[in-house]
Amino acid sequence: MTVKCHFCLMDKCPEKLCFLKEKSVLLLQVDLLQPKIIHGIKTQGARQKFSNYYISQFVIFYSLDGENWKSYKGNSTSSQMVIIFPQVFQGNRDYLQPVMNFLDVPFFAKYLRIHPLKWNKYIALRMEVLGCDTEQMDY
């Protein structure tokens, strides 16, 4: 199978645009412009002056229309139990080292929401979404 992959490159993000100091807004929403098959998310924090900022835990929500959202629950077929809570992803431990989270079960989405659960000082996130066009898959 050949796929054309798309990357939202986090090293192109100016660090000053990566901070969310408003604690009442706890999500980052991404519009992928077209539906994609999402395979993973790579995250990284940011540094400003002498402080490190990063997200250490988060959950993912996704949507095709931007109105009806589903939480990513991972591989619910791996056990007899039905998973009802979103999968919690382990994020960063510092601002410098990127962390890759591959998805057990890829999903189709045009929109993604990253909801931070834990962070260091302020929410700061640089990220790459790894996904593929749905119409350009060759079998």
Could you report the per-residue pLDDT of 15-57, keeping only the tens digit for each?
444 545 555 557 888 899 999 999 999 999 988 888 899 999 9
In a domain, 49, yes or no: yes
Q: Report pLDDT for 70.
A: 95
In a domain, 41, yes or no: yes
Q: What is the CATH number of the domain that holds 44?
A: 2.60.120.260
In a domain, 26, yes or no: no
| String of DSSP letters for the chain | -B--EEE--GGGS-GGGSEE--TT---EEEEEEEEEEEEEEEEE-EEETTEEEEEEEEEEEEESSSSS-EE----GGGSSSPP-SPPPEE--SSSSS-EEEEEEEEEEEEEEEEEEEEEESSEE-EEEEEEEESTT-B-
Question: What is the domain extent for residue 102?
Answer: 2-10+31-130
Enter the pTM of the model: 0.77
In a domain, 81, yes or no: yes
Q: How would residue 3 be classed by pLDDT, with cut points 50, 70 and 90? A: very low
> How many folded domains does the chain comprise?
1
Quote the tokens at residue 20.
């969310």
In a domain, 139, yes or no: no
In a domain, 137, yes or no: no
